[in-house]
Amino acid sequence: MIEFNKKLIFRKFFLDNTYFFLSTILTLGVIVWVIQAVNFLDFVTEDGHGLGVYFKYSLLNFPKIISRLFPLIFFISIFYTLNKFEDNNELKIFWINGINKIKFVKNLVFYSFFSLIFLYFLTSFLVPWSQNKSRIFLKDSNIDFFPSLIGERKFIDTVDQLTIYIEKKIDKENYRNIFLKDTDDDKIKFIYADRGRLINTSNERSLKLFDGKIINVNNEKITSFDFETTNFDLGKYLTKSITDFKLQEIKTTDILNCYINFFKLKKKSYYEPTKCNDPAIKQMQKELFDRLIKPLFVPILTLTLCLLLFFPKESLKFKFSRMMIFFLGLLIIIFSEFFSTMTTRNFLYFKLSIGIPFLIFLIQFLLIYFKISPLKQ
């Protein structure tokens, strides 16, 4: 019966904390998502995408927001729940029912390791997958970029390798005095046309040009010819936002393989488009830290909050110690962000960033164990 009561008490604590954590992180996550979505609106609509594409694209960035908020919100939720139970004298129920503080700390750390596993899933799998899917989604979406992008007497270079200038728009599909600059590696093509008509169907997306001239520049060789009518294929062009391959999209295993190959096998270009050279490796160190090391600060923050058990409500230093422990936790979070930035400096900082979280965890655990254990509470 006593063991059953202990399980009920622990269940209430962890359910209260989980409810507060989920409600807080989802609320703040949605707020941050809405703020970022406003920026995405400019980013996506400038590339000519519709609102449906914009919504799905911004939604695929939601896991990244949650992963960034996770350590801070988890810390706040544990701090809130511990103080709530202390203020309501509910922690005394633990001690009265024979639950010693060492066991309480162990259960709290065990609970934090479940959160750690979930955070690993977010940072190492879900976030890279969602980032990659968001880019592919933009790439594969039916982009009607031409009518929405083109303005009269404006040079538009949003489309990768293509510059567009139109002097007059008769309507959404017909234009006058068109200038195009097509850049392909060492080749440059200039096209001028008196008139043009947009053809945008499920099978074809092109610009039909009338009465113009094409100038080809290949190294130092220049050729030109006039035309009465020609079709300029728009289907092969992508907007710049969807051609940029980001490190955040790459699988964790691929980054680790690249890292190992750079230092051990000396293969300088393990995969494309991110090459295993010095600048890329430094960015990979930061990415690996954010995915694999930074989540370790979740149990560290949990142990930090266990220091609250040393200062019950009856203690004269209760309010002061509560405030100091909270700021200590915030300092640890800032410290993790600092090391995340420093990993791009050199390999030494990266090695230090790996060892320090384990050292902090060990020191805190030993401090709590030897502080509480003699009390036999």
What does the DSSP 8-state code read for residue 158? -
- The helix (run of H) or strand (run of E) holding residue 303 is helix 297-306
Token pair of 16 as six digits = 């209260």
Mean pLDDT of 227-249: 69
Beta bridge partners of 223: 216
pLDDT of residue 276: 57
Phi, psi of 60 (to 5 degrees): -70, -15
Q: What is the pLDDT of residue 118?
A: 94
Q: In this structure, are strands 174-184 and 187-200 parallel, antiparallel, or unpaired?
A: antiparallel
Tens digit of each residue's pLDDT (9 = 90 or more) over 310-359: 777 776 677 888 888 899 889 989 988 888 888 877 777 777 777 878 88
Of 134, 142, 128, 156, residue with least CA distance to 37: 134
pTM: 0.73
Please state the rounded mean pLDDT for residues 238-247: 59
Tokens 């010693």 found at: 100
What length is written for the chain?
A: 377
354's enclosing H/E stretch is helix 347-372
Q: How far is CA 338 from CA 168, 293, 345, in A?
A: 52, 13, 12
Task: Give per-residue pLDDT as tens, 14-52.
Answer: 899 999 999 999 999 999 988 887 776 665 555 555 666
With a CB cutoff of 8 Å and minimum separation 6, the contacts of 157 are: 163, 164
SS3 343: coil
Tokens of 82: 């511990």
Angle at 196 between CA 194 and CA 202, to 5 degrees: 165
Backbone φ and ψ for 227, nearest 5 degrees, come out as -145, 155
Residue range 154-211, pLDDT digits in tens? 776 666 677 788 888 777 778 888 888 877 767 788 888 888 888 766 666 777 888 8
Q: Name the nearest CA neighbour of 296 among 250, 255, 354, 349.
A: 354
